[in-house]
Structure 1
Amino acid sequence: MKTMEQIRHLYSRAGFGLRFEDMRLVEQLSVKHSIDFLFRSSVQSKPLVSVKENVNYKDFLKDDQLSRKMFMMQQRQQEKDLNIEWLKNMSTGNTQLRDKMTLFWHNHFACRTLNAWYAQQLNNIQRDNALGNFRTLLLEVSKTPAMLQFLNNQQNRKGHPNENFAREVMELFTIGRGNYTEQDVKESARAFTGWGFNKDGVFAERKFLHDDGQKTFLGNTGNFTGEDIIDMLLAKKQTAHFICTKLYKYLVNEVPDAANVNAMADVFYNHKYEIKPLLEFVFNAKWFYNEKNTGNLIKSPVEFIVAMNRQFYIDYQNPDIQIQFQRALGQVLFYPPNVAGWPGGKNWIDSSSLMYRLSIPATVLNDGVIDFTGKTDPDDEAFIATARKEKKAVHTRVQTQPDWNKFLSDIPAHTTKKEIAQLVLSPAINSKLLSIINKATDIKTMVIELVSTPEYQLS
């Protein structure tokens, strides 16, 4: 594989794709220097800031019905603002690697909360630590009101342990199912008793609720705290292997290669769970650029939207349309289906979502109308029901403005149509794509046809 092909692949996995604008920055670089450039570009962590205050719904419970309804509408708007802000940051910012890894941790630590302030706080912790140390990330995530509330640890107290949080820390966040016993769950739940948060949304170790008795966990006995449990889980190399398996499926191939995953786990474990050395190892590995690992991953809906936004510098007159895209495609930021997160891979595609995936690019690039039949937001249905009795198709004008002038002007002189196609698409150019390229009378028409193909769904 030639150097520029490797760099294109690197950007499709470590970011959201390479643009002609980016090519001017990396075309003289080696693959190693391109990797270094991605890390340097992602040093800064830009926090989400759209949610300005923590409004507790309990403050409104005693108010009249209108006040409660106004609060619910305000809450929904905060959630939408947070979603759009993150999407805009990914679509326009230069911290691609940090953004891509924040998206990974957002799914690894899947969480739902009705409090947008808590959701923003959790996301910023994932963003700040996306390229840092996993222990720090795990510990900070575990102490957020969003996660403690979602997994019921606010109710975990001495004499009445709630096992939900402790179980998911093991099953989904660290060591994985099959590497602990039900007794380990019970004992670790006792260790996490008292972990909660106060009315201001600040973590609190409520010692009067903590079980300070002897506990036996993974073969160790002592007066363990929650942090002790986390440290014992990290001491098990299986934790490194579990996380590296998920990361391999996210960055390399849906079918894990045992030898490669083991090599990743060695690096992660030996570097005391530092994330940067692990990613550097993956991006510098020869197998990362093997043909079987290129153009083979189905983009998640968010990756699909962000890649399109970045490639064509899309400006949305109504940014909320992007939330409708997410609903139609099955991935709404901050709303994972359950604590296990989005399953990914081929699960992203069904007959309905594929139809939208193939129609959205041309619609967006031509300011068209899209039919969102049956894709109403469940949280909005109550409001919609008051406005009309029967369910109708939602026809929405996308109202976008791609910057075609910038896209076209960034293409270097003498670039062939096939070379343009190779930058837009991750898979190799096949005979069907070549036919589109050869028949195209102008670049804009060709590109719109290419992004409307199934191949554009792959990275």
Structure 2
Amino acid sequence: MTVPSFINNKHLLWRAGFGPGINQLEDLENKDHNALLNDLFKEENFAEIDYQTAETESSDYMNDKSPAEKKKEIQKINRQQNEELNLNFLYKMVTSNEQLREKMTFFWHGHFASRVQNPKFNRQILNVIRKNALGNFRELLFEVSKAPAMLSFLNNQQNKKDHPNENFAREVMELFTMGRGNYTEKDIREGARAFTGWGYDKGGNFVERKKLHDEGSKNFLGKTGNFTGNDVLNIILEQKATSRFITAKIYKFFVNENADETIINTLSENFYQSGYDIKKLMTDIFSSSWFYDKKNIGNRIKSPIELMAGMMRMLPMNIQNPENLIVYQKLLGQMLLYPPNVAGWPTGKSWIDSSTLMLRLQIPQIWSGLRPLDYRPKADDDVDMGLKNNTNTLTKNFKNPNITIDWERVEKIFAGKKPEEYLIQNTKSLDMNSVKSFSDNSVKMNVINLMSTPEYQLM
């Protein structure tokens, strides 16, 4: 079975999406590689996410409550909406036909990292990122920079003439566009002056507060003028360092953490010349022969979200308590909407420590009901997005994940196949004798044991 197109198809589905779905096994074997690539780039009509949960503003019953009760009720609704958005995001990764859009959204969600409690702001910025995920980086940068979630997270609401706050300007350059070493402290100060007055109103709309804007002349990245925030972003996009920084980050995420400078230079130059066309950049990557080199296959540790989404795509399951999935995100160290800081999540070996590795290897058994969940989320140093449960509650609620897997369907689809060829990216280091020695030879136990190997952690 291990013919090159099969291996390449499997590699592509893991890198450009969240792994093959249970209904795609025939595609892996039989689909022409270019046809599979074209499918990944097909876009459906974009629809913004909305909340099913009640909106606090429209709740008439809030009028009868005391200020303390109102505050508590608002916190509760905020928590419910953030949970709803988190699960909606995860389910799109698992079920969407637009796998590449979801993978790019996941990437940009970590790149433009923000962490706020306001569910309206969270929804707005996620809609912006999803809409522009495969569009133009210039538009994505402008819209994200004007999103209340980002302006709030990076304190630009407090950025006023005579008292500039440099946080937003610094992170825009250091983390979102050019990277360190391509600007000076003076550029940060001057950039911050240009962003004075950028903020948002109570309704969550971007506003330029003219009275708070510094109208003076600024000297930014070698140019002089009475620059506004828009001017600064345009000057940043003129720098080839911006294209280089974004391309290198995308290469490390989608291809290999060990950068190939020659390839990155070529991709970056083409990205710059295209006017920052993200879709073209991703096409250049996924249609290149070097993307399918052996050294790029099975070399990346799956992030917790990639691990969970990949298992959910492969195992048809009914989840009675979906909020459980947020606890797993928390335990494994990657909670959607909740990056550790403005730099986003770390990658690679940082995902694995003694406690998370044990849980990663046990999830297939826990989700299959073969073992209880005996873990506690780590206490956070600040807001906890509603997961500050006491230990007893956690133990009681989450030992049973309430997941029912349709093993009959899995058995049927894997009949006559070797599950390891579909589940493991690099089967060379896999000891199938030890996998089989742990259980009977049923497809169910074979799949559970394969997903419990260190090799399944790689993609």
Same fold, judged at TM 0.5 (above): yes
Task: Determine the structure 2 residue equivalent to 1:30.
Answer: 32
Please say which of residues 319-328 and 14-23 is displaced more in the overlay: 14-23
Task: Determine the structure 1 residue equivalent to 2:10.
Answer: 8
Residues in 1 aligned to 2:344 and 2:323: alpha-carbon distance in whole angstroms: 23
Task: Determine the structure 1 residue equivalent to 2:432.
Answer: 433
Please say which of residues 394-403 and 320-329 is displaced more in the overlay: 394-403
Residues in 2 aligned to 1:323 and 1:392: alpha-carbon distance in whole angstroms: 15
Q: Displacement, 1:71?
A: 2.1
Q: Displacement, 1:368?
A: 4.3
After superposition, give the CA deviation of every residue in 1:147-176 in whole Å (9 maximum; x if it has no partner): 001111111112211111111000000000
Change (3 A) 1:52 1:435: closer
Q: Displacement, 1:26?
A: 5.7
Task: Determine the structure 2 residue equivalent to 1:195.
Answer: 198
Verify: 1:423 aligned to 2:405, yes or no. Answer: no
How many residues of Structure 1 are paired with residues of Structure 2 in the alignment?
449
Task: Determine the structure 1 residue equivalent to 2:280.
Answer: 277
Task: Determine the structure 2 residue equivalent to 1:165.
Answer: 168
Task: Determine the structure 1 residue equivalent to 2:451.
Answer: 451
Matched-pair contact (CA < 8 Å) for 1:82–1:120: yes
Amino acid at match of 1:345: G
Matched-pair contact (CA < 8 Å) for 1:367–1:397: no
Paired residue for 1:331, among 317, 330, 334? Answer: 334
After superposition, give the CA deviation of every residue in 1:185-219 in whole Å (9 maximum; x if it has no partner): 01111111111111111111111211121111110
Verify: 1:99 aligned to 2:102, yes or no. Answer: yes
Please say which of residues 22-31 and 351-360 is displaced more in the overlay: 22-31
**TM-score, normalisation: structure 1:** 0.92
Matched-pair contact (CA < 8 Å) for 2:110–2:345: yes
Verify: 1:127 aligned to 2:130, yes or no. Answer: yes
Residues in 1 aligned to 2:250 and 2:378: alpha-carbon distance in whole angstroms: 31
Amino acid at match of 1:36: N
Matched-pair contact (CA < 8 Å) for 1:373–1:393: no
Change (3 A) 1:305 1:65: same
Instruction: Structure 1 unaligned segments of length 5 or more: list them.
Output: none
Change (3 A) 1:381 1:268: closer
Paired residue for 1:176, among 171, 175, 179? Answer: 179
Task: Determine the structure 2 residue equivalent to 1:240.
Answer: 243
After superposition, give the CA deviation of every residue in 1:18-65 in whole Å (9 maximum; x if it has no partner): 23521334644332222111111x444343222667648xx99x9432
Task: Determine the structure 2 residue equivalent to 1:115.
Answer: 118
The percentage of counterpart residues that share the same residue type is 45
Residues in 2 aligned to 1:222 and 1:400: alpha-carbon distance in whole angstroms: 60
After superposition, give the CA deviation of every residue in 1:207-240 in whole Å (9 maximum; x if it has no partner): 1211121111110011111111111111111111
Instruction: Structure 2 unaligned segments of length 5 or more: list them.
Output: none
Verify: 1:310 aligned to 2:313, yes or no. Answer: yes
Residues in 1 aligned to 2:168 and 2:319: alpha-carbon distance in whole angstroms: 39
Matched-pair contact (CA < 8 Å) for 2:53–2:80: no
CA RMSD of aligned residues (A): 2.5
1:11-410 alignment, distance < 5 Å: 11-25=13-27, 27-40=29-42, 42-50=43-51, 55=56, 63-366=66-369, 368-375=371-378, 379=384, 384=389, 396-410=399-413
Residues in 1 aligned to 2:302 and 2:452: alpha-carbon distance in whole angstroms: 14
Matched-pair contact (CA < 8 Å) for 1:51–1:82: no
After superposition, give the CA deviation of every residue in 1:376-434 in whole Å (9 maximum; x if it has no partner): 6763789646x98x9979752111011223333334x643x2xx211111122435135
Structure 2 SS opposite 1:370: coil
Amino acid at match of 1:427: N
Q: Displacement, 1:279?
A: 0.3
Q: Displacement, 1:269?
A: 0.7
Change (3 A) 1:293 1:318: same
Residues in 2 aligned to 1:131 and 1:384: alpha-carbon distance in whole angstroms: 38
